[in-house]
Amino acid sequence: MQNAYQVYNNNKILTATPAELTLMLYEGAIKFCNIAIIGIENKNIDKAHTNIIKAEKIIQELRATLNPKYKVWEEFEKVYEYINRRLVEANAKKDKEILEEVLHHLRGMRDTWKEVMKLAPK
C-alpha cells in the first residue's frame, strides 16, 4: 500500500502546474513546522530539528523560484528571508512560539496564494 501512495504522490507532483507546486511547498512547510512543534512539546529534539530543517529547505526553494522580472519579487524575498531567519532561530532555541509565528506567516501566504490561484486564468 505504501508503494501505491508514493506513486500517487509522485504523479501528483509530476503533473502539477507551477502554481500547484507552490501551494504544495507552502503546505509542506506548514506540515513540517507543525511536526517540529510536536517534537518540541514532546522533548524530541531530533524530531524538531529534522522538521525545522525541512521547512528551511522549502523556504530556500521558494526563494530560488522567485522571478526578478516581477516587481513583487523583492517583497517576497524579504519575507522569505525573514521566515528563514526565524526558522534558524527557532531551531537553535527549540522555540515553539517562534514556530507559531512562522506558521502564522506561512498560513497567510498559503491562503493568499489559494485566492490568487482561483483568480488566475485557467
Q: Which three cell numbers stand for residue 60?
A: 530556500
Model confidence over 57-96: pLDDT tens digits? 999 999 999 999 988 999 999 999 999 999 999 999 999 9
**CATH number, domain 2-119, options 1.20.120.340, 1.20.1050.10, 2.40.50.100, 3.40.50.620:** 1.20.120.340
DSSP class of 44: -
From residue 78, how far is each of 30, 53, 71, 74, 119 by CA, in Å? Answer: 19, 19, 13, 6, 25
Place 9 in a pLDDT band, splitting at 50, 70 and 90: low
